[in-house]
Structure 1
Amino acid sequence: MLRRVLLNEVSTCRHFLFNKAATSLSFPLRRINSFFSSSSQSEFPNAPFVEHLENHNAQPTTTISIDRSGLYNPDEHSHESTLESELIKHLKGVIKFRGGPITVAEYMEEVLTNPKAGFYINRDVFGAEGDFITSPEVSQMFGEMIGVWAMCLWEQMGQPKKVNLVELGPGRGTLMADLLRGASKFKSFTESLHIHMVECSPVLQKLQYCNLKCVDEHTAGEGVEKRNISTLAGVPISWHASLEQVPSGLPVIIIAHEFYDALPIHQFQRASRGWCEKMVDIVEDSTFRFVLSPQPTPATLYLMKRCKWAAIEEIDKLNHIEVCAKGMDMTHTIAKRISSDGGGALIIDYGLNGVVSDSLQAIRKHKFVNILDNPGSADLSAYVDFASIRHSAEEVSEDVCVHGPITQSQFLGSLGINFRVEALLQNCTDEQAESLRTGYWRLVGEGEAPFWEGPDEQVPIGMGTRYLAMAIVNKKQGVPVPFQ
């Protein structure tokens, strides 16, 4: 997410990308022109990693027995909350009830999606007035490019008459709204769609309903449920709490933009006794702190799997490893659906094409804060391990193939974002042109925008190389654009 670019040193200013030629397109140029014509690591002993894993070959126990006297506390945590929220009380209650700490993944899940007090559940956290800004909120062009990708995949699938278009974690619904507006002139495509929004927040569901300009359609006959129709393209829309609830049996196109980074992660830290899972505990003064588990935890199985996928030298140089068990499981679900029903998935997020070390962060009102400070008031996210996604998908079925990752700049450039921005600039005001240039740079640029003349603290920072794009497709469709 854009919030993460603050972590990196701003790279040297590059030449503005408007003058760069678009990369060669592997699908008909007429399709693009037609589409656009519409309006900190701690130090620990470096014992051999293999030995650490071999010591854990026994099946991990499903319960964690904790002797707090022997726990190592890697980070000092001195803040005190003057007024405890319901979520803080809940977290402390869980820890006290168990008689021991909870995993970082459990902490993240409660903080983000607790049914009563989760960060995503009862508020709008997106946009300039929220806690962070996502690519669809930056520019309409992002959603339009995703629409181009989805439509090209639909053509490669043989233009099926019915398709499930699924978005995971759709935020305000901005991406889908821009996608539908851009694709609305292609009736054969939009008429084939049934959109499924996988969203757990009631507040965001309502925002999505409004931003997609939905109306209720009542059909004749008793016992027939009403349908939600987006008037942007006359497409039926349904909401679900999980991907498993989306009906199967039809070809599927799945969009997962900035979805994986919010899935809970397990953190492991190298200690003298081997790899130990990082946990969240409370101390006598009732503040939260990080500790290390003295024995293997259930998530150790995922750590072992992840390390088998990596080179020994890649692991040996790390003191921390993050493993997203839910991300692996979600990828299994996606790959199985694509294998059985056909279609593909597009994943775009901030991450690495390799093992992720220590990336978990919290942001509140566009500023980084302590992860344990006032849980539920800040967003938590971590880098996405794209290599783990690849291996997780490939181990499910031989019928699916993974392509990428490539940078967001390569992805959007190959889909024709340069053509789109040029078309928009031909008929806009000076203020709109400035907004277009800023949005364009944020999507495909790198570092600070060289054309910026406003306040230094508001200089646009490009996400073009910090975000990666990956596709998982059924082999019957061939190689999707623009991964050829």
Structure 2
Amino acid sequence: MTALARIIAARIRATGPITLADYMEICLLHPRHGYYATRDPFGAAGDFTTAPEIHQMFGELCGLALAQAWMDQGSPAPVTLAEPGPGRGTLMADMLRAIRVAPGMADAAQVALIEASPHLRRMQQARLGHVQHLDSVEELPDNPLFLMANEFFDALPVRQYQHTDDGWAERMIGLSDEGLQFGLGLPVDLPRPGKPGDVVEECPAAVAITETIARRIAARGGAAIFVDYGGWNGYGDTFQALRNHAPEDPLANPGEADLTAHVDFAPLAAAAIRAGAVASAPVPQGDWLLSLGAAQRAERLAAAGDGGAMAALRRLTHPEEMGHLFKAMAIWPKGAPPVPGFAALRLHADHA
């Protein structure tokens, strides 16, 4: 049993079963034993590899999309260029290099990183030099906001509900003789249709964060792009643990594995529209990158001697790789042109 498992078990003995959201938050962010507080989880030596770590073209194309949105909105200055959950700082470094093609944007951009892990903050500082670190999106400067979030929402705590013969009940984590185990709490009033055995997930933190970002963009201008794996109004248990690039029981080694769940983009789009901004439907990552010129960029890099460019293009865009599992969604102000590669979602705020 890990040190964090003992801490969680003691809490359950003292106060009763905990929600899945509580479990995820403890496992990922405990200040001493939490997953992100104790390690570099990225790359071949870590537990997973994100798109920016696969190849520079991903971050370059993200930066160019935000740069075009900046020019389409009149090249405001100053602006905040922000990233929540910025990992090693690889994506931001690639975006900063790419936005230099937009005259004046690099000078106008003030970089802000939203990062909870002191360990990762040090890595980002070493990679990027002096940047502003924030604890939450609420602390972002009151400027036009251009924000990129890649594999950020999937790590936010989710709550799970399972449909029984008596309706919906929240899935909880308690104790058995073998250790941590799932169980069901009391019935809850969940306004979703379902049949016995169905599982749905909700991520209140993702909705609140999206609404904060969208409200800023609606009021001050800017754009946000979210890229993550997930779908639209989905059903099913997507909670998972990844360790050494392989799945494992998410209750087996608290604090030692990455915990994630698929992102439901529907409530995020609804939150953005409620906040007064325009939202897109999610589009497959591969389609979005190809619409931005990923194939042409890979060919140019390959011709210049980048031997991994074409393999990276396939991994990022092919339907059997990351191309369809991962989706991209954008937010922009009313009256502004769409962010490149996206179209406005026809969803009314009163139905959100």
**TM category, shorter:** over 0.9
Map residues 122-141 of structure 1 onto 2, 5 A cutoff.
Answer: 122-141=38-57
Work out the CA distance in 2 between the residues paired with 1:374 and 1:362.
Answer: 9
Larger RCO, structures 1/2 (Cα 8 Å, 6+ apart)? 1
Letter in 2 for 1:247: P
| Equivalent residue, structure 1, for 2:85 | 169
Q: Unmatched 5+ residue regions in structure 1?
A: 1-80, 215-227, 229-236, 448-461
The corresponding residue for 1:404 is 281
In structure 2, runs of 5+ residues without a counterpart are 344-352
Contact 1:166 1:198 in 2 (8 A): yes
- Specify the alignment match of 1:263 in structure 2: 156
Deviations for 1:244-274, whole angstroms, at most 9, x for unmatched residues?
12222x1001111100101111011111221
Question: Which of 297, 304, 325 is 1:420 aligned to?
Answer: 297
Give secondary structure in 2 for the equivalent of 1:117. Answer: coil
Question: TM-score, normalising length from structure 2?
Answer: 0.93
Q: Report SS of the residue matched to 1:281.
A: strand
TM-score, length-normalised on structure 1?
A: 0.69
Q: Please list every run of at least 4 consecutive aligned residues from structure 1 whose deviation after the TM superposition is greater than 6 angstroms.
A: none
Q: Deviations over 1:71-93 (max 9, x none)?
A: xxxxxxxxxx3xx41x1222122
Q: Distance in 2 between matches of 1:390 and 1:478?
A: 17
Amino acid at match of 1:89: R
8 Å CA contact 2:80, 2:112 repeated in 1: yes
Match of 1:382 in 2: 261
Is 1:356–1:385's contact at 8 Å kept on the other side of the alignment?
no
Instruction: Report the 3-state secondary structure (helix = DSSP H, G, I; strand = E; otherwise coil) of the residue aligned with 1:177.
Output: helix
Retained in 1: the 8 A contact 2:198–2:235? no
CA contact (8 A) 2:146 2:222 kept: yes
Aligned equivalents of 1:163, 1:264: Cα separation in 2: 30
Amino acid of the structure 2 residue aligned with 1:244:
E
- The alignment status of 1:472 with 2:331, answered yes or no, reads yes
Selected match of 1:238 from 132, 152, 155: 132
**Equivalent residue number for residue 315 of structure 2:** 442
SS of aligned partner of 1:440: helix
Aligned position for 1:232: none
Paired residue total: 343
1:191-270 counterparts in 2 under 5 A? Answer: 191-212=107-128, 214=129, 228=130, 237-248=131-142, 250-270=143-163
**Counterpart in the other structure of 1:326:** 205
| Pair 1:290 & 2:182 matched | yes
Report if aligned partners of 1:356, 1:384 keep a CA contact under 8 Å in 2: no
- Aligned in 2, Cα 1:477/1:350: closer, same or farther, shift over 3 Å? same
Q: Is the Cα contact below 8 Å between 1:356 and 1:383 reproduced in 2?
A: no
Compute the displacement of 1:186 (Å).
4.0
Is 1:160 the counterpart of 2:80? The answer is no
Q: Does the CA-based 8 Å contact 1:343-1:477 persist in structure 2?
A: no
When residues 375 and 335 of structure 1 are mapped into structure 2, their CA distance, relative to the original with a 3 A threshold, is same
Q: Deviations over 1:190-245 (max 9, x none)?
A: 00100100011111111111222x1xxxxxxxxxxxxx2xxxxxxxx201111112
Q: 1:356 to 1:121 in 2, by over 3 A?
A: farther
Taking the aligned partners of 2:10 and 2:255, their CA distance within structure 1 comes to: 15
Separation in 2, partners of 1:354, 1:347: 17
Q: Within 2, Cα distance between the matches of 1:371 and 1:247?
A: 37
Mean Cα deviation higher: 125-134 or 467-476: 467-476
Task: For 1:186 and 1:159, locate their aligned partners in 2 and report how far apart those are by CA, in whole Å.
Answer: 9
1:375 is aligned with what amino acid? P
State the identity %: 37
Check conservation: 2:77, 2:108, Cα contact below 8 A.
yes
Secondary structure of the residue aligned to 2:10 is helix
Which SS does the other structure have where 2:233 is aligned? coil
Are residues 290 and 187 of structure 1, via their aligned partners in 2, closer, same or farther at CA, if it must alter by over 3 Å?
Answer: same
Q: Is the 8 A contact 1:318 1:357 kept in 2?
A: no
Residue by residue over 1:374-414, the C-alpha shift from the partner in whole angstroms, topping out at 9 and shown as x without a partner, is 111001101110112111222233xx111121111111111
Is residue 368 of structure 1 aligned with residue 247 of structure 2?
yes
Task: Specify whether residues 352 and 318 from structure 1 end up closer, same or farther in structure 2 by C-alpha distance, changes over 3 A only.
Answer: farther
Question: SS of 2:32's equivalent?
Answer: coil
Per-residue CA deviations over 1:432-468 (Å, capped at 9, x if unaligned) read 42x2122111101122xxxxxxxxxxxxxx2111111
Could you tell me how far apart the structure 1 residues matched to 2:145 and 2:77 are?
12
Distance 1:182 1:402 in 2: 24
Q: Map Cα deviations across residues 68-118 of structure 1 (whole Å, 9 max, x no partner).
A: xxxxxxxxxxxxx3xx41x122212221221x1000010011111112211
Question: Cα distance, 1:316 vs. partner?
Answer: 4.8
SS at match of 1:268: strand
Give the 3-state SS of the residue equivalent to 2:36 in structure 1.
coil
Report the residue type matching 2:172 in the other structure.
Answer: M
